[in-house]
């Protein structure tokens, strides 16, 4: 059961992510964005639902497919779009780009372009929460591919042995670039791996906000009570290729179309209408506002300054008095 | 001043810094009850308890990464690697994460993390436990690299490392742990990074060396001096930042440079120093710089073979003499 206000928040954030990714895709095809852009379209329910339960002082780590997590944790569409464009006003002043959105003041310890690289860092967030004597939790988002990295297994073991408040959220979108999970992964449900590390494991429909919420509430309760970590596997699907230039030889248009039928946003909308959480008009308004916010962020980013090349050597090291 | 071993100097600074700042904690393999296999964390568990003195599983990439995350979240972790050879197991977290986070995130993060541990020859530990890997870490922007050769430097550099807001690779040498020396009692005693130590002043040749090779070089220098060759011996103490000013000033005086280290010769830090000296003081050089380092060969187990790989006293003397055309 999700309270009305939070459902509406989730709906808004999912729409913001959806429009943001559509805008990013358009900008990429227009050569306004460079680099690798990994779109989260179709997976919005995971970031929005998980983060809807977090406080601002809770930590997350994110992935190369990290726009959704960054937007949900910070709520700053402008800094996100500006970062994708490499502008000075971006989250990282244009030094990180699409794959490195971070906002430490709001608990985002950073998106990571190394598959599985953020998992131990989230464990460190959990250790800090514990040693600083807080009830903060740390959430690591990662994909199905990362569950075959050593860091996944080492980190689950370490977090379990130390009973750290870490929630491992696996976004199983069923392909590691072009390789389907059945070719690369020893188990059908990645969450069964939790048993090897003596922690609860949940496999849920990653397009179902309520199912994600249910698992996340259990994991969060356990983490806040300092009882230890959990693993949640959200089975979902990315509508776009691995990146914006992916030839997508590994699936058919019909496969994609079938998953688009399971759109998590439409599904949440139907649920909210059915339960009279909001009227169709109210939800339309939320969607329109989300779209307008993305358009505004895009304008902001387009009009932002490029970083000054004279500053290229700034912040290689932290210099006393210039910590920022 | 107190006479301490190199290991004791490290242990004392860890304890002092943990007393001073509750955000400092230590973790690593066998560091709690056992106090580390070289005793550098002995007694810390009893004083600070298991929350701040943590035995880790044998999962270097994960516990180094946990240190990175904890540092980003406001703690000051000091992570022990049992052997610095094991840094190779954690290279992603060290080089792709710790070193890059601050820059990649636009200066909005800091990673006050110390990775410390011992390396090098001397105990017959063979190819995977005897390497000198410090030069590797000079190549990656964002890391600092410290290499103490004396108990006082171990103490002063470690305190600086712990208080630094950047990731620091802190290289100790296993053959130095039992060496003794005077260490200031002052719990604020710090050796600044980027300031070389002129171990011995001289006029004929500049020798740059670090870690165990400061002692070994000094043995050679003793004999060279008795042959009338005046050597200036410089220990850079930190490789990042590297005090080229002191080295270049010395070479401008002596006209000759020899670098000596236990790290492999190819792309060892002596190569960088020789190149920088050649750029900055070419016209002062009276001879080509000489570089000594381990041969490009895996460190062998057998003592005679191990000695055949790393620079020997006679080789140091011969290199110095070559620069003097003697």
- Is the Cα dihedral B108, B106, A67, A282 positive or negative? positive
Buried b (16+ CB within 10 A) or exposed e, B277-290: beeebeeebeeebb
Q: Please judge whether B107 and A324 are an interchain contact, meaning their C-beta atoms are less than 8 angstroms apart.
A: yes
Q: How many CB atoms lie within 10 A of CB A126?
A: 32
Decide if B279 is inside a domain: yes
A248-262 pLDDT per residue, tens:
999 999 999 999 999
pLDDT (average), residues A14-27: 97
What are residue B51's DSSP bridge partners?
none
Tell me the Cα Rg of chain A. Answer: 19
Beta-strand runs (E) in A53-165: 59-63, 108-112, 138-143
Give the angle A41-A42-A48 at the CA atoms, nearest 5°.
90
From the candidates B17, B29, B60, B232, which is the catalytic residue?
A: B60
| Confidence at residue A280, expressed as pLDDT on a 0 to 100 scale | 98
B106/B24 same-domain check:
yes
- Per-residue pLDDT at A324 exceeds 90: no
Residue B160 shares a structural domain with residue B204:
no
Do residues B216 and B104 both lie within one domain? no
Same domain, B207 and B179: no
Q: Can B60 be counted among the known catalytic residues?
A: yes
**What integer pLDDT is reported at residue B300 of this predicted model?**
97
pLDDT below 50 — which residues of chain B?
Answer: none
Q: Is the pLDDT of residue A215 over 80?
A: yes
Interface confidence, given as ipTM, is: 0.95
> To the nearest 10°, the Cα dihedral for B146, B151, B153, B159?
80
pTM here? 0.96
pLDDT at position A1 is 82
Statement: A4-306 belongs to CATH 1.10.287.1080: no
pLDDT at A322: 74
Q: Indicate yes or no: CB of A131 within 8 angstroms of CB of B75.
A: yes
Task: Give a yes or no: residue B191 inside a domain.
Answer: no
Tell me the C-alpha distance between B121 and B131, whole Å.
7
**A108 prior amide bond cis, ω within 30:** no
B276 belongs to a structural domain: yes
**Tell me: the pLDDT tens digits for B64-74?**
999 999 999 99
Among A residues 114-143, those touching chain B with beta carbons less than 8 Å apart: 114, 117, 119-132, 138
Q: Specify the pLDDT at position B126.
A: 95
pLDDT, residue A235, reads: 98
Percent of chain A with pLDDT over 90: 96
Q: Which of B133, B155, B183 is the last residue of a domain?
A: B183
Three-class SS state of A81 = helix
Q: A142 phi and psi, to 5 degrees?
A: -160, 170
Residue A158 near residue A123 (C-beta atoms within 8 A): yes
Residue B190 lies in a domain: no
Closest chain A residue to B25 measured between Cα atoms?
Answer: A131
Domain that holds residue B232: 197-323
Q: What is the pLDDT of residue A323?
A: 66
Give the model confidence (pLDDT) of A33-73 as tens digits.
999 899 999 999 999 999 999 999 999 999 999 999 999 99
Q: What is the CATH number of the domain that holds B150?
A: 3.40.50.970
- Which helix H or strand E contains A217, and what residues bound it? helix A209-224
Split into its structural domains, chain B has a count of 2
Cβ B66–A112 below 8 Å, yes or no?
no
CATH number of the domain within which B287 lies: 3.40.50.920
């Amino acid at each position: 059961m999700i309270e009305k206000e939070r459902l509406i928040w989730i709906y808004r954030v999912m729409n913001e992510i959806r429009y943001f990714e559509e805008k990013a895709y358009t900008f990429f095809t227009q050569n306004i964005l460079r680099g690798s852009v990994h779109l989260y379209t179709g997976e919005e329910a995971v970031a929005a639902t998980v983060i809807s339960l977090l406080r601002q002082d809770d930590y997350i780590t994110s992935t190369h497919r990290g726009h959704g997590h960054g937007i949900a944790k910070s709520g700053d569409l402008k800094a996100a779009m500006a970062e994708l464009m490499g502008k000075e006003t971006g989250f990282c002043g244009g030094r990180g780009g699409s794959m490195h959105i971070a906002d430490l003041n709001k608990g985002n310890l950073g998106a990571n372009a190394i598959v599985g690289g953020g998992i131990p860092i989230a464990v460190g967030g959990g250790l800090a929460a514990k040693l600083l004597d807080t009830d903060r939790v740390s959430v690591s988002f990662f994909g199905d591919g990362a569950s075959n990295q050593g860091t996944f297994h080492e980190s689950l073991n370490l977090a379990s042995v130390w009973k750290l408040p870490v929630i491992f959220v696996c976004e199983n979108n069923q392909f590691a670039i072009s390789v389907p999970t059945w070719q690369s992964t020893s188990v059908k449900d990645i969450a069964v791996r939790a048993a090897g590390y003596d922690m609860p494991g949940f496999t849920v429909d990653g397009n179902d906000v309520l199912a994600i919420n249910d698992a996340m509430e259990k994991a969060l309760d356990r983490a806040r009570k300092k009882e230890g970590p959990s693993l949640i596997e959200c089975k979902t699907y990315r509508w776009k290729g691995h990146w914006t230039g992916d030839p997508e030889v590994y699936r058919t248009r019909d496969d994609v179309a079938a998953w688009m039928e399971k759109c998590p946003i439409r599904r949440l909308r139907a649920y909210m209408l059915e339960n009279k959480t909001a009227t169709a008009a109210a939800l339309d308004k939320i969607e329109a506002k989300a779209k307008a916010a993305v358009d505004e962020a895009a304008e902001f980013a387009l009009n932002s300054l490029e970083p000054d090349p004279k500053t290229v050597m700034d912040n290689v090291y932290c210099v006393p008095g210039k910590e920022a | 001043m107190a006479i301490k071993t190199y290991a004791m100097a490290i242990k004392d600074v860890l304890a002092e810094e943990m007393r001073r700042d509750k955000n400092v904690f230590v973790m690593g393999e066998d560091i709690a009850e056992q106090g580390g296999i070289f005793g550098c964390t002995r007694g810390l568990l009893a004083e600070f308890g298991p929350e701040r003195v943590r035995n880790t599983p044998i999962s270097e990439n994960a516990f180094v990464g946990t240190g990175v995350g904890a540092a980003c979240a406001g703690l000051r972790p000091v992570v022990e690697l049992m052997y610095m050879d094991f840094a190779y197991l954690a290279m992603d977290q060290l080089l792709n994460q710790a070193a890059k986070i601050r820059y990649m995130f636009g200066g909005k993060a800091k990673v006050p993390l110390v990775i410390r541990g011992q390396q090098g020859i001397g105990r017959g530990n063979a190819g995977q436990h005897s390497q000198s890997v410090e030069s590797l870490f000079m190549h990656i922007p964002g890391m600092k690299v410290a290499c103490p050769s004396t108990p006082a430097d171990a103490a002063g550099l470690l305190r600086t490392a712990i208080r630094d807001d950047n990731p620091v690779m802190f290289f100790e040498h296993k053959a130095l742990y039992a060496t003794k020396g005077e260490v200031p009692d002052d719990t604020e005693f710090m050796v600044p990074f980027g300031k070389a130590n002129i171990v011995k002043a001289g006029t004929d040749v500049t020798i740059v060396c670090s870690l165990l090779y400061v002692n070994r070089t000094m043995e050679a220098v003793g004999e060279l001096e008795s042959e009338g060759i005046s050597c200036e011996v410089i220990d850079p103490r930190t490789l990042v930042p590297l005090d080229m000013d002191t080295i270049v000033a010395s070479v401008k005086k002596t006209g000759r440079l020899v670098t000596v280290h236990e790290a492999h010769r190819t792309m060892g830090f002596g190569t960088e120093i020789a190149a920088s000296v050649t750029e900055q003081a070419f016209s002062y050089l009276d001879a080509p710089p000489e570089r000594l380092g381990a041969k490009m060969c895996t460190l062998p187990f057998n003592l005679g073979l191990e000695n055949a790989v790393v620079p020997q006293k006679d080789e140091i003397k011969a290199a110095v003499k070559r620069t003097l055309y003697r």
